[in-house]
Each structure stands twice: as structure tokens, then as C-alpha cells.
Chain A
Amino acid sequence: MVGGKTAGERIFTLTTVVIMIILMVVTLYPFWFSLISSLNSGADLARGPVFLLPREFTWGSWSAVLSDPGIMKALWITASRTIIVTTVSILYTAMFAYAFSRTYLRGKRFYVIIGFMSMYFSGGIIPSFMLMNWLGLYDHYLVYILPSLFAGFWNVIIFNANYKALPEALFESAKLDGASEFRIFLQIVVPLSKPVLAALGVFTAVGVWNDYGTTLYFTQSNDLQTLQYMILRLIQSNRAVENMMSMQGTNLAVSSLLNGTQGQGPVTAQTIELAAMVIASIPMIIMYPFAQKFFVKGVLVGSVKG
């Protein structure tokens, strides 16, 4: 770049750096604050918040959360649905997009029309609720799996844009050698599409892990609760107690988690809540730097042109 450093430009750079640092502190501090608070004794927290480091360190709240059967059940539901849905839906949607991207596909217009219709028209929450009931999926583990097995037309468009970069000659020679479409997909397309598979896989996993709507709308039993839903109920029940508000029914799994923490011991409802939030965000914190890397490599390339 041409141009020297004038005083004005130095001030500009300095201001920029200061703004960035403030933004980073505002973003990170809430996590740090919950981490140290969850590792601090609850009775001590009642005297005033901790700022930089725990005053009275204890693993009490963490072990209370990690040994609670309700949390463990919710963790199992959340983790299993995340793994199943991510694997199946991304691989299947990649295959759909491959078939869709073939120039020799007959009736392509039909798939385009139903694809775009599925993106723009929706019956809304009540008709979906009735459908789940009708299909027998209401309050069943499969409600977490079946409706999500196709990742949607939006992802098809992204896969399609990525496939355009693959050399057509590769497919042609494989076809002339008599390879089936399935074989071309598995042995040529999948190995060459790792970045986009990884990117969309990470996004799907994040979305499923963070979802609480499905639990809220389509389930009612305690043993089908997801981790996010249970934490939501925990937050709501703690706020209700603090503000003396009425609650819409109590949640058995949450009350059993909070049982025995009443009073002013080292483990209180507040530290339990913070510990649960920190623990539930660990997988995302580990995974998201990869998402960032793959997003730039797999999704932006070929889809966004400045």
C-alpha cells in the first residue's frame, strides 16, 4: 500500500484498536463472569458479585450439575439428536444436491418449484403441531430426528454452487466407465466437497445443539427435554423466585436439580444455573473456530462475489 503515516492516520489506527479491544471485552467478559461465578461459593456470591477471580473456589455447582440425572438425560437427548441429524441430513442433502445439479436430470423445474415453495411458504406453528400429533411424533424422541433429516433447500443451493467448481470431465469419464450415480457421488463428489460438507455440518450441529423450540412446541414429558430447554426452565424458575412472579407450572426435572441447593450453602440456585450454562456452551466454544475456518473455505467461495 502506498502512503506514509501521518499523525491523523496514527490517531485513526489507535482509535480503531481501542474500539476493537472494548468490543472484545464486552463480548468475552459475560462468559468469564459466569465461569468464575459458577466456580465460586454461592453463599459468598450472595454478599456481592465476583469480578476477576473466584473468591471462594469450589467445584460444588459443577459436580452438582454433572451428577444430576435430569441433566444427564437431557445431555444424552441433545447429543444423540445432534449427531444423528447432522450426519444423516448433511450427507443426504449433499446427495440430493448432487442429483439436482446434474444437467441431464429430467424434470428439474419441478424440483426447483417445490424447493422454492418450501423456502417461502409455511403453515406456521399450529398446523405443524397438529401434523406432529397426527403422525404420532408428538412427545416422541423421533420428533427430534425425522422432520430434520432433509436440511432444506437453502443448503441445496449452497451445495449446488460448490459443485459447479468440480470438473465436469471427471463425472463424464466415470459415467463412461459405467459407474452408477451413487458411486460417483460417494467416490468423487464427497471426497472433493469436504470443506462445504464440514461447514454445513458444523452449522447444522450448532443449530440442533442450540435448538429449544422443538422441545417447547412438540414435547411435554420430562425425559424428552433437551439441555437448552432445561436451562431455559432453570433460568425462568430462578427469575420467578427472585421477582416473586407466578410460574406456568413447575418443571419436575428442574425442581429435582434445584432440590437440596436451597438455603445458603456453597451451591445455590444461581450457581447451578451459571454452571449449567457454562457446561452447555463448552461444545460450541470448542467447535466454533472450525466453523469459522470452513465457512470461509466452503461456503463463501463460489457463493459471494463482491
Chain B
Amino acid sequence: MSSQKRKGFRLGYDFRTQFELLIMLLPAVLFIFIFDFTPLFGLLMAFKNFEPIMGIKGIFTSEWNDFQHFTRLFTNFQFWPMVRNTLGINLLSALIGIPVTVIFALLLNEIKHHKFKSFVQTVTYLPHFLSWVIFGGLFITLLNSTGIVNVLLMELNLIDKPIQFLADPKYFWGVAIGTGLLKDIGWGAILYLAAMAGVDQSLYEAAAIDGAGRIKRMFHITIPGILPTMMVLIIFAVSGMLNNNFTQIFVLQNPLNLPMSQVIDTYVYQTGLLQFQFASATAIGLLKTVFALLLLVGANTLSRKLTKTGLF
């Protein structure tokens, strides 16, 4: 006890406490260095003539190759279609997904029957917790040429022969965007609902007294109230523009729909891990990461200028 009475003693700055804290922090620091930072050295492969046979040492000893992996990439006939698919699926997902999720949250917020509201929420959360293997698998079954969707459409005489939703490339974007929306609409709405709960209730009462109807209140009070949350989610969407949901696309992809379903992530997996083109696959991965970071910073700056909200 005497140490605490010593002059200049500050609680927690003693050696024992700092040592204990260090012990608590050290394992994670080691993990971050081993599993997150060591792989960064592998990025050197993107600039070198590396062959998998050279082993780990080869990353450092192989020759530099004057950005050949990058220049070759732009002349690769698979490159532009895969960039188009990546950006197309993501952009349309965001353009459709964000407004639809906001509308869903707005409508849900207008439901005053508490039990019905929480029931709807519970049901719509469900797909978020299922894996893409299961959720994608269910839709593959439903959208099959003998699946229930085609059977129903045939019964209703809307189509003459089954639509090949997953075998015909032209439907792939629609399937990817639709299943993505359905899987996360309920979960996405949770953040907007939390933001709506934070809006000052007296604003609604004042507006109602002034004669504003429900729709008007929604547009002039609720939507401005959730704008900061929306901006944060838009920034996330923009920065994730190059980052397709590999787990989703890989499940829905098959050799027949490849022209519209090959995205950067699946291409990296295919050429890198299946065809062992380590160096060029790393180069694409690196290019993607750099552009994703630029997008994040760009979207954040723009959002700060326009709405005074940002992530950092």
C-alpha cells in the first residue's frame, strides 16, 4: 500500500500493470503480424517473374519484370468483361438495394402494431444468417428449368418454354442482384430503423399539429434524420464496388453463365489457386485493393463536402 502514497504515483502506470496489459495485447499483435502483415510481402510477386516452384524464397530472389503482369492484364481478353461484371453487379445492387432497403425501413417504421412489426423483422432477418451455399442453393433449385418458378410461369401461360435463369448468361446479373437484395433487406433495415428511433419525436408532433400528413412527415422529418446513416452505408457501398461478394457469386456461377458471372474475385481464385498463376493473380488482387482504397477515400471526401458526414 505504501507505493500508492508515494509522490507522483498515477494509478495503472506501474510496471506490473503495464506488463499485464502487454501480456493481454501481445498474442493479437503476433497474430496481426503473422496472418495480416506477412502476406503483404507476397505482393512483391506482382512485380516479379515469380513461379510457384521457386518457393517462398523466390518472392525475394526472382527478377523484377517492369510491370509486365499489369500491362499484360489490360490486353487480356478476359479483363474488361470481368471489370464490367464486377462494377455492373455492384453498381446496380447499390442503386437498387439502398433505396429499396430505405423504403422497406420507412414502411416498417410506419407500422404501429408492435407485434406485427417485430414479426416482419424476424422473418426478413432470417436469410442474412444462412450461408450463401444454402440460400444460393435454394434459389438455384427454385430457378431450375424444372423448378417451381418455371413451372408456375408455364402454368400461367406467361412463357412457352422454361427460362434458363442460371444457364443463360443474360439472366445472371438479375439473379445475383435479386438474391442479394432478398438476403440482406431485413438486416440492412435494422440500421435505418435504429437511426429512425433516434429522431426527435416532438418534431413529428409539431408537424402533425401543423397539418402534415404521414407521407409529408416521412419526407421532411424521417428521411433527413436518417441521412447520415445512409451516407455511411453509401460510402461502404462505393468502397466495396470492386469487392464482389465472392461467396455469393461462386455459388451461383457455373461454366454456362461465366460470360456474365466472372468477376475479379472469382478470376483471381480460378487463375491463382486452380491454375497456379500466382504472380499475375496477385497483380490483379493488388490492383483491386489499391482502387478500392482510392474509392473509399474519394467517397468519404465527397460525402464530407456534400453532407458533412463521413467515416473519417
Contact with B along A220-246 (1 / 0, CB 8 A): 000000001101100110011011011
In the complex the two chains form, is B137's CB within 8 Å of A231's CB? yes
**CB-CB under 8 A for A49 and B110, given A120-B293, A277-B137, A306-B225:** no
Of A95, A117, A124, A296, the contact of B24 (CB 8 Å cutoff)? A95
A274 to B121, CA, bound (A): 26
A211 to B130, CA, bound (A): 10
In the complex the two chains form, is B11's CB within 8 Å of A20's CB? no
B81-135 residues with Cβ-Cβ distance < 8 A to A are 104, 107-108, 110-112, 116, 120-134
In the complex the two chains form, is B40's CB within 8 Å of A127's CB? yes
Contact with B along A174-185 (1 / 0, CB 8 A): 011000111001
Q: How many residues of B contact A (CB 8 A)?
A: 109
Q: Does chain B have a CB within 8 A of A8?
A: yes
Q: Which residue in chain B gives the minimum CB-CB distance to A114?
A: B32
Find chain A residues with CB under 8 A from B286 CB. Answer: 124
Find chain A residues with CB under 8 A from B59 CB. Answer: 130
In the complex the two chains form, is B141's CB within 8 Å of A306's CB? no
**CB-CB under 8 A for A104 and B40, given A1-B205, A16-B107, A231-B134:** no
In the complex the two chains form, is A92's CB within 8 Å of B129's CB? no
Instruction: Give min CB distance, B185 to chain A, whole Å.
Output: 8
Q: Does chain A have a CB within 8 A of B274?
A: yes
A136 to B151, CA, bound (A): 51
A180 to B32, CA, bound (A): 26
B133-182 residues with Cβ-Cβ distance < 8 A to A are 133-134, 136-142, 144-148, 151, 166-167, 182
**CB-CB under 8 A for A33 and B142, given A126-B285, A243-B256:** yes
Find chain A residues with CB under 8 A from B36 CB. Answer: 117-118, 121-122
Find chain B residues with CB under 8 A from A292 CB. Answer: 121-122, 125
Instruction: Give min CB distance, A76 to chain B, whole Å.
Output: 18
Q: Does chain A have a CB within 8 A of B273?
A: yes
In the complex the two chains form, is A300's CB within 8 Å of B194's CB? yes
Contact with A along B7-51 (1 / 0, CB 8 A): 000111100111011001101110111111111111101000000
**CB-CB under 8 A for A176 and B151, given A118-B36, A131-B39:** no
Q: Which residue in chain A gives the minimum CB-CB distance to B36?
A: A118
Q: How many residues of A contact B (CB 8 A)?
A: 106
**CB-CB under 8 A for A16 and B110, given A124-B268, A124-B289, A246-B255:** yes
In the complex the two chains form, is B247's CB within 8 Å of A288's CB? no
A6 to B133, CA, bound (A): 47
Q: Does chain B have a CB within 8 A of A48?
A: yes
Q: Does chain A have a CB within 8 A of B70?
A: no
Find chain A residues with CB under 8 A from B111 CB. Answer: 13, 16-17, 20
A284 to B131, CA, bound (A): 9
In the complex the two chains form, is A31's CB within 8 Å of B12's CB? no
A115 to B185, CA, bound (A): 30
A8 to B255, CA, bound (A): 51
Of B4, B128, B208, B281, the contact of A1 (CB 8 Å cutoff)? B208
**CB-CB under 8 A for A228 and B140, given A20-B120, A23-B104:** no
A12 to B109, CA, bound (A): 13
Q: Does chain A have a CB within 8 A of B223?
A: no
In the complex the two chains form, is B39's CB within 8 Å of A123's CB? yes
Q: List 21 A-B contacts (CB under 8 A).
A: A2-B209, A102-B12, A105-B21, A114-B33, A115-B32, A117-B37, A126-B285, A128-B39, A176-B11, A211-B131, A232-B251, A243-B167, A248-B274, A273-B141, A277-B137, A277-B138, A288-B128, A288-B129, A295-B190, A300-B190, A304-B191
| Chain A interfacial positions (CB closer than 8 Å to B) | 1-3, 6, 8-9, 12-13, 16-17, 19-20, 23-24, 26-28, 30-31, 33-34, 37, 48-49, 51, 92-93, 95-96, 98-100, 102-106, 111, 114-115, 117-118, 120-131, 134-135, 147, 149-150, 172, 175-176, 180-182, 185, 206, 209-213, 216-217, 228-229, 231-232, 235-236, 239-240, 242-243, 245-246, 248, 270, 273-274, 277, 280-281, 284-285, 287-289, 291-292, 295-296, 300, 304-306
What 18 new A-B contacts, CB under 8 Å, besides A2-B208, A111-B29, A211-B131? A30-B139, A51-B148, A96-B24, A104-B10, A114-B29, A114-B32, A124-B39, A124-B285, A125-B269, A126-B281, A210-B131, A235-B137, A240-B254, A273-B141, A277-B137, A277-B138, A300-B190, A306-B229
